[in-house]
């Protein structure tokens, strides 16, 4: 019989402000080591020190588990933070997001999308046409959970990412999270950049474009970051939130990992031309 899988989630905060969070799916034999690693991570986080750390562990019902393939990964080079954000707006439009919605999301991420101009714990939900905010709680947002990858794929991912200099926890975890979000037919695209002051990279992901990462999507030292999920207009928001938060998805197939290319060349390759 296969080992039983558990969902493990960590959330750390300081003075009620989000510090860090993480989630994965692990076999029962790895639960204790994983929990210890998550606690260490919470306490040593560059946004810390945390004054509250919560770890939750839930058994996954085997019948509810689905499997999937990771998105293709590509690094897009840009001249500056402003140029990378311009690229993100152009590519979001390729993904069916209006310019209004793309520009609004970039501004919210830059300003801190939670009340008080700080980072949210989870993601914003944004109407891909109007740019309206749709998440029920603008401080918490929506937290994607019950995601992970098989041990075999974890090893394969190291082999793919190491030659590109990308075998770090940020890339690995973001690829898994973005892979779940992009799978849902009501999500047109996702935009993200880290809230960790020393990590400037971010990405845009959609089913068609895959995971497109930008090494500098925010200035170093900046603690405001976050995620925006662009929703198909008129979609069933509650059903989507339930799926993102609680439907278990284990990745067992790799996606391609491509060498870096300039974003303008990439857009030209898509056959559209940058504006």
Query: What is the binding site for ligand WAQ (CB under 6 A)?
Result: 18, 21, 23, 119-123, 143-144, 170-171, 174, 177, 192, 194-196, 199, 201-203, 213, 225-227
Q: Which does 160 bind (CB under 5 to 8 A by kind): Mg ion, ligand WAQ, none?
A: none
Q: Cβ atoms within 10 A of the Cβ of 119, count? A: 22
196 binds Mg ion (CB under 5 A): yes
By CB under 5 A, the count of residues binding Mg ion is 2
Q: Which does 170 bind (CB under 5 to 8 A by kind): ligand WAQ, Mg ion, none?
A: ligand WAQ
- CA dist 194 and 212 (Å) reads 14
The strand pair at 226-231 and 187-193 is best described as antiparallel
CB of 47 to ligand WAQ, least distance (A): 8
Q: Which does 45 bind (CB under 5 to 8 A by kind): ligand WAQ, Mg ion, none?
A: none
Burial of 254 (0-12, 13-18, 19+ CB in 10 A): middle
- Give the per-residue contact string, 155-194, with Mg ion (x = CB under 5 A; - = no): ----------------------------------------
CB of 228 to ligand WAQ, least distance (A): 9
Q: Tokens 């037919």 appear where?
A: 185
195 binds Mg ion (CB under 5 A): yes
- CA dist 224 and 81 (Å) reads 14
- CA dist 216 and 84 (Å) reads 7
- Residues of this chain that bind Mg ion (CB under 5 A): 195-196
């Amino acid at each position: 019989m296969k080992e039983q899988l558990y969902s493990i989630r960590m959330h750390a905060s300081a003075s009620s402000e989000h510090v860090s969070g993480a989630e994965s799916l692990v076999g029962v034999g790895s639960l204790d080591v994983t929990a210890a690693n998550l606690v260490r991570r919470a306490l040593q986080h560059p946004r810390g020190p945390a004054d509250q750390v919560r770890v939750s562990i839930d058994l996954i019902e085997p019948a509810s588990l689905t499997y999937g393939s990771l998105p293709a990964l590509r690094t897009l080079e840009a001249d500056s933070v402003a140029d990378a954000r311009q690229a993100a707006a152009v590519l979001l439009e390729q993904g069916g997001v209006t310019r209004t919605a793309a520009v609004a999301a970039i501004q919210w991420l830059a300003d801190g999308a939670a009340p008080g101009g700080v980072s949210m714990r989870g993601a914003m939900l944004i109407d891909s046409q109007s740019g309206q905010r749709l998440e029920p709680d603008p401080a918490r947002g929506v937290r994607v959970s019950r995601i992970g990858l098989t041990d075999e794929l974890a090893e394969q991912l190291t082999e793919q990412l190491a030659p590109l200099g990308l075998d770090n926890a940020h890339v690995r975890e973001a690829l898994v999270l973005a892979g779940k979000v992009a799978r849902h037919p009501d999500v047109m695209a996702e935009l993200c950049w880290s809230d960790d002051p020393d990590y400037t990279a971010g990405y845009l992901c959609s089913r068609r474009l895959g995971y497109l990462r930008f090494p500098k999507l925010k200035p170093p030292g900046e603690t405001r970051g976050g995620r925006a999920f662009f929703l198909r207009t008129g979609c069933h928001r509650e059903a989507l939130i339930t799926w993102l938060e609680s439907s278990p998805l284990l990745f067992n197939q790799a996606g391609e990992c491509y060498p870096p290319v300039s974003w303008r060349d990439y857009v030209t390759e898509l056959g559209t031309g940058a504006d």
